[in-house]
Every structure is written in structure tokens, then in C-alpha cells.
Amino acid sequence: MALACSFFYHIFKDAEDFITQHVLVSEIDLGVLPEAIAVLGSSHLGSSTREAILKLISTNLEPRRLPQRAWKLSDALRLSKIHTHVRSFTETYAIEIPRCCLDEGGDYPATSSEVARIQRAFYRFELYCNLFRDYENPPLSLAEQKEFFFNKFAPWENEQLTCIHNYLFELVSEVYNEMVEHDVTFGYYRIPRADISEPGEIETILARGLASLHSIILAKTYNEKVQVLYPDLIESTDKFLHQALTAANDTNDNIWLEDYTEGDKIQKIRSPFFQDPDTGPSDVWFWANQEETRAHFINCEMRKSLREWGYVLWDRARLDALNVLSTPWEEATDLVTIDEYGWRYSRQQKSLERRHEIYVKGGRGWWSAEDESKIVWPAGREVEP
């Protein structure tokens, strides 16, 4: 209507800033909006030059603030689209993680502060992707990313980002590992399953950002999964978020956190970017890192089991209800028996050998030991030669 009638068009243009800002505030929580605005700004960067990245960081992360600016309808539409993915991932995370990892059975739905906290972490993930997606020619080294990006956040906020990274890694890995186990080409090239300790192949996929990842996890058929995973499927990098988070730690001073004085805490532990009124995230981070040095405060392999349930993303009330902080934290053990490992290895080798045979003969596509009917043979053939 506003576009069809010049009278209403001019009225709309006069009130565009007010209308679009009202729409944004209605859709995105005020406690999340600064992160959303930073992501919006980063989505306009195009080629992420060093100068452009540093300027955006200075504008949006020093300190955290809601920029006072004129809003355009195009901005609102673009941000609304981004928020659709953030909201969808957050809703799934807030339901699945407590249910599968905390044994809550859905009886304790996420609070508004938990939802906002999770959304901020997803936005920080998207922001990192937009800024540092060019991992082959990074505009900032990992050391510079620590200085200019990660040092803007408290260690528990960087662990929040690590939780989201690990969660997205697992979601993509489900699709990726199906290809590893059943795709003929993957079998021929002996591509290994995804491993969070060596995440290079999945990192190239994560770098695409939330919109692409959303399409990957929604893919249902084999053909759909092939389309959304390619062309970056076989690429690998050790210069994206997983390694950057590890590099965000400080040098080892050989002092455990439990031995920090109040002065040490003020001097060595960075203040949070978001002043969270709930102490849950910081409390549980201090609890989990008592016997750790600052060289391993972020993305430590030992605390992988804690990140599986997003330990730094929940309110103190939930943590208390689960008695999380009542006893000292101990590292979880994941034991695989020799017999189980042997069975897995034997099964894998047979799969690789059979898919190698099929590939050499020209077959491609989806395979399983129980069903080879879906293999696609060269034109003119319907069965294995």
C-alpha cells in the first residue's frame, strides 16, 4: 500500500526510522539487539579487510552499546532474516540440551534470560563467521583475533561461544558422518569421521554461517545433503574458530584459578562484554576451572563434556536445582572397550574396501552393506558390471 500510493509512500518514508526500529525491538530482545546490530553491520562488509574489521569492532564492541542510528526498512528485513535462523537454533538448543544432557525431561523450560544468553552466543558465532570467514587469507592472525576480538569478552563468554561452536559441529557432523559411512566417493578417498579434536573438515562448513548450516540440518534425502554440503566438503582448515578459541587463552603463568587472590581476579580475568544480572555463567565457569591455569580457560579438551550441556549458558537457579555446584567438578571419562573398538574398525575397513571397488568400477552415490540398490552407475548400466 505504501508503495502503490505516493501519499502513503511519503508518510511511510517520514516515519520509516520509527517504524523499523519499533519492529526490530518487538522481534529482538533489547538484551540481544546490540549483538544483532553488530552482525548486521558485519553482513555489509563484503570483502572483510583488516581496516573494515577493526572499524566494525571499534564501533560495536568497544564497549557494548546500541548504536544510535537511522534505521532503514532494508536493514530491518535483513536483520529479521538473520534473526529467524538465530531464533530457530536457540529454540532447538533450549529444548534439546536440557532434555538430553541434563535429564530434565522438559519440565524446566528455558527462562527469558537463558534464551537471550543463548541468542547472544549464536549472534557472536555469526559475527565471527562474517569477520573471519576467509580462513585461507585471514585479515587478522589468530594472535590479532585474540587481541581485538576475544579479549573483549570474559572467559565464560568465550566459553559460551565454544559451546555453540561445539553444538553446531555436532549437528553438521551428523550429516557429514552419514556421508562418510555411506557415500561411495568418501569411501574411495577414505575420508574419516568428524572429530571435534581435529575439526578441520567441519570448520570449513561452519564458516559459511547460520543460514547455510540451517539448510544443512534441514536436509532430509541423500541428494539434498550432497547439494548443501558441496563444494567445500573435502576442504580442511586449522585457522578458523576452533583453533582461534584455543589461541584466545593467555600464556601459562602456572597459577591455578583456585589460588587467585581478589587482585589476581581483577587483573587477569577480563570483565564481561554483557553485564549479566544472573551469576550462573560466571559461577559455573569458576567452579569448573578451579584446578586450571589461564592457558586453558577457553576451549579446553578436558571440559568438552561440560560444553555438551552448555554449562555457561544457564541461570544460577537451574544450576542450583541440578546441584551442579555442590561438589567439585571432575573430568568425565569416555571409555571404549578393546572389543568394541575392534568391531568398529573391522566394520569400517570392510565398508571402505567395498566402496573402493564400486568407485573403481564407476559407481557413485549412496551405499550400505545391506542395500546397494541406490548406487548410480554410468549411463547405460543399471547394475554393477
* 217-258 tens-digit pLDDT: 999 999 999 888 876 666 889 899 999 999 999 999 999 999
Residue 29 vs residue 235, higher pLDDT: 29
User: Among residues of the chain, what percentage have pLDDT more than 90?
Assistant: 67
Q: Does residue 364 fall inside a structural domain?
A: yes
Dihedral angle computed from the Cα positions of residues 10, 14, 16 and 22, in that order, rounded to the nearest 10 degrees = -130
Say if residue 46's pLDDT is above 90: no
The mean pLDDT of 357-380, rounded to a whole number, is 91
Torsion of CA 15, 17, 21, 24, to 10 degrees: 100
pLDDT of 117 strictly over 90: yes
What's the average model confidence in pLDDT over 141-154? Answer: 97
Q: What is the mean pLDDT of residues 10-37?
A: 74
pLDDT at 373 over 80: yes
Residue 286 counted as domain residue: no
Report yes or no on 359 lying in a domain. yes
Instruction: Provide mean pLDDT across the span 252-272.
Output: 96
When divided into structural domains, the chain yields a total of 1
Of the listed ranges 104-118, 142-156, 163-177, the one predicted with least confidence: 104-118
Report the chain's mean pLDDT, rounded to a whole number: 88
Averaged pLDDT for residues 319-348: 78
For the cut 80, the answer to whether the pLDDT of residue 134 exceeds it is: yes
Specify if 357 maps to a domain: yes
Taking 60 as the threshold, does the pLDDT of residue 15 lie above it?
A: no
Domain that holds residue 358: 344-376
Task: With respect to residue 181, please indicate whether it lies within any of the assigned structural domains.
Answer: no
> How many whole angstroms separate alpha carbon 222 and alpha carbon 236?
22
Whether 348 is covered by a domain: the verdict is yes
pLDDT at 1: 47
Identify the pLDDT of residue 330.
84
State which of 15-19, 106-110, 307-311 shows the largest mean pLDDT: 307-311
Q: Is the pLDDT of residue 4 over 60?
A: no
Predicted confidence at residue 181, as pLDDT, reads 94
**Looking at residue 133, what is its pLDDT?**
92
The band of 73, judged by pLDDT with boundaries at 50, 70 and 90, is confident
Q: Which residue did the predictor score with more confidence, 11 or 369? A: 369
Domain presence at residue 66? no
pTM over 0.85? The answer is yes
User: Which of the residue ranges 121-125, 188-192, 313-317 would you say has the lowest mean pLDDT?
Assistant: 188-192
- CA dist 13 and 34 (Å) reads 25
What does the alpha-carbon distance between residue 342 and residue 188 come to, in Å, rounded to a whole number?
Answer: 21
Q: Is 310 within the bounds of a domain?
A: no
Kindly tell me if the per-residue pLDDT of 24 is higher than 80.
no
Mean per-residue pLDDT, 76-102: 89
Q: What is the pLDDT of residue 16?
A: 60
The predicted model gives 334-353 an average pLDDT of: 74
Most confidently modeled of 85-89, 331-335, 336-340?
Answer: 85-89
Work out the percent of the chain whose per-residue pLDDT is above 70: 85
- When pLDDT is averaged across residues 23-42 and rounded to a whole number, the result is 88
Long-range contacts of 51-57 (CB under 8 A, 24+ apart): 53/131, 53/132, 53/139, 53/140, 53/148, 54/148, 56/131, 57/131, 57/148, 57/149, 57/152
Three-state SS letters, the chain: CCCCCHHHHHHHHHHHHHHHHHHHHHHCCCCCHHHHHHHHHHHCCCCCCHHHHHHHHHHHHCCECCCCCCCCHHHHHHHHHHHHHHHHHHHHHHHHHHHHHCCCCCCCCCCHHHHHHHHHHHHHHHHHHHHHCCCCCCCCCHHHHHHHCHHHCCHHHHHHHHHHHHHHHHHHHHHHHHHHHHEHHHHHCCCCCCECCECHHHHHHHCCCHHHHHHHHHCCCHHHHHHHHCCCCCCCCCCCHHHHHHHCCCCCCCCCHHHCCHHHHHHHCCCCCCCCCCCHHHHHHHHHCCCCCHHHCCCCHHHHHHHHCCHHHCCHHHHHHCCHHHCCCCCCCCCCCHHHHHHHHHHHHHHHHHHHHHHHCCCEEECECCECCCEECCCCCCCCC
pLDDT at 383 over 90: no
Distance between CA 350 and CA 331 in Å, rounded?
35
pLDDT of residue 76: 82
